[in-house]
Structure 1
Amino acid sequence: MVQHEIARRLLDSSEELSYDPVREVDWDTPLDTGLHGASPEWCTLYGTSYWAEMTPDQQRELTRQEAASVASTGIWFEMILQQMVLRDFYAKDPTDPAFQWALTEIADECRHSIMFARGAAKLGAPAYRPRRHVVELGRFFKTVASGEAAYAAILVAEEVLDVMQRDWMRDERVVPFVRTINNIHVVEESRHMKFAREETRERLRGAGLLRRQVNAFVVAVAAYHIVTSMVHDDVYANAGLDRDRALREAKANEHHRSMLRSSCAGLMEFLESCGLLTRPALWFYQRANLI
């Protein structure tokens, strides 16, 4: 469990710096279609021949659809996260700061999910959901995952989002309300990542080789499905593009692969330090372009 003093510091930080998206985000100003929904460099088609052929309006629309897709995937995983944390702390000592921090994180995630949902709607996007088999795998994972498998998977999802959103929130080409959403998420998720890292280390203390091998595999499979679900295949048609061509070029886009790998350098170092970067796990991380 997270050490008493670390949990206390996280609670203190939450009291000092937390946001109410209802008040902080400008929900009333109409969407400015002259701005992007995300930094163009993070677009799955950026740097391809198709991107070069697209009009500026098409490029901006695609970044808005992709930002909405990332937000929708974030909601899906935040719902998994909340259930795993609730199950982990069920019937534990409520006077423990770690217990109180767990509830604080769940409250944060509830606000984030509502914020992402409103943001996606304002971007003019439909509800993007992971593929059916991924939804069912997520249903199974949230029911059975525990200990380091649960917290390391939480960390993977949060770390990948954190790096890209830090870019988006500083980018003046991105529509202001999206920048505000990203800023809120980055600030509050930094505490969640600290919590997940400490829990992962604590749960692995004294773990044997077999346990590490099994959990390394489980976390890598979860990471693969989370990352490959971030941008839905339908974003291209919804942006007015040729879906089949866009999918082919996005799949072969080395620029986007490089962006993902760079965003995960610190995460991979952490997993390796915990003994969770095994050969079978590496195969999934490579398939997801995380390493």
Structure 2
Amino acid sequence: MDTTLGATLDPARRTTHDASQRLLDSSAALSYDPMTEVDWDAPLDPSHYGLNPEWSTLYGTRLWSEMTEQQRVTLTRHEVASIMSTGIWFEMILQQMVLRDQYCADYSRPDFQFALTEIADECRHSIMFARACQKMGISAYFPTRSSIQLGRGFKSLATAEVAYGGILVAEEVLDVMQRDWMRGEQVLPIVRTTSKIHVVEESRHMKFARQEMRERIEGAGPRRRQTSALVIAVAAHVIVSNMVNEKVYAAAGLDPARALAEAGANEHHKTLMRSSCAHLMEFLDELGLLTRPALAFYKRVSMV
């Protein structure tokens, strides 16, 4: 670590400097190359799910009990492909926001260097998810047209705690899901391995996002906190509502209207979502970013 530089910083900046250096050291010690870590040539076992069945949007519903085993396998594969597609979409937004944030920053600082390391990670993750979907024989799923346009605005305008808050939301929600999938014995090995890679490397990204949010929000007044809280919540709503595309149900041979209705009323899935967001909500509350208007958006997608 550059102790000379660290010694010249004020205590708050020195803490950020040291934390970023630790993340850089961790990246150097433990990172993966998906092109060699994933067995892309292995055949797919037709009995393996795309994700743990418990994470399916229809698990526990009457429709789920009526589905054949093949329909369940097909649905979960399309669901995970949709989630991966949404991940690629947001990772492209993330990369642009981080690049804007670091434009002409101090190149010698470890937080600048880790930001570029994160961008490199996200590029590999996007290619990894794209190849996994291709391997499963599933075409890309896309967000709604309005969400794509909102994403354009968000990636162009979001700064400071709003940008890193949006990043943290996307990463935290997916992290809990993938920690479960990577241990699922019924889950396709290709999904288990890509989930493991993503979990390990995203854990550093989440620490960096939290670190940046704490630093950027420090000293902010009530009005700024209210505004930032609302924008982050709207971004979270857009991300989560696009994770599972409604077309996955038709792909599994289901009646889309009935499937959407039962998925929307599925208390089991809502409980899983709330539990996966518990730590995120605690952190946002700690920063004064869990306001009443923000809560209304989180509740709409069962994040609280």
Pairs within 5 Å for 1:195-274: 195-274=208-287
Pairs within 5 Å for 1:117-266: 117-266=130-279
Q: Could you tell me how far apart the structure 1 residues matched to 2:252 and 2:232 are?
A: 33
In the alignment, structure 1 segments of 5+ residues that lack a partner are: none
Q: Could you tell me how far apart the structure 2 residues matched to 1:30 and 1:47 are?
A: 30
2:44 equivalent to 1:44? no
- The percent identity for this pair of structures is 65
Q: Could you tell me how far apart the structure 2 residues matched to 1:164 and 1:57 are?
A: 22
Root mean square deviation of aligned Cα: 0.8
Listed one character per residue, the Cα deviations across residues 243-289 of structure 1 (whole Å, up to 9, x for unaligned) are 11111110111110010000000000000000000000000000010
TM-score, normalised with respect to structure 2: 0.95
Runs of 4+ in 1 over 6 A off after TM superposition: none
Q: Could you tell me how far apart the structure 1 residues matched to 2:216 and 2:37 are?
A: 36
TM-score, normalised with respect to structure 1: 0.99
In the alignment, which of 101, 106, 112 is matched to residue 125 of structure 2?
Answer: 112
Corresponding letter in the other structure for 1:173: Q
- Shift in Å at residue 121 of structure 1? 1.4
Q: Could you tell me how far apart the structure 2 residues matched to 1:121 and 1:264 are?
A: 29
Listed one character per residue, the Cα deviations across residues 213-248 of structure 1 (whole Å, up to 9, x for unaligned) are 000000000000000100001001111111111111
Counterpart in the other structure of 1:99: 112
Corresponding letter in the other structure for 2:247: D
Q: Tell me, what secondary structure is at the counterpart of 2:290? A: coil
Q: Tell me, what secondary structure is at the counterpart of 1:3? A: helix
In the alignment, structure 2 segments of 5+ residues that lack a partner are: 1-12
2:62 equivalent to 1:71? no
- Shift in Å at residue 93 of structure 1? 1.0
Listed one character per residue, the Cα deviations across residues 157-176 of structure 1 (whole Å, up to 9, x for unaligned) are 00000000000000100011
Corresponding letter in the other structure for 2:267: E
- Shift in Å at residue 66 of structure 1? 0.1
Corresponding letter in the other structure for 2:281: M
Corresponding letter in the other structure for 1:185: H
Corresponding letter in the other structure for 2:54: E
Corresponding letter in the other structure for 1:226: I
- Shift in Å at residue 126 of structure 1? 1.4
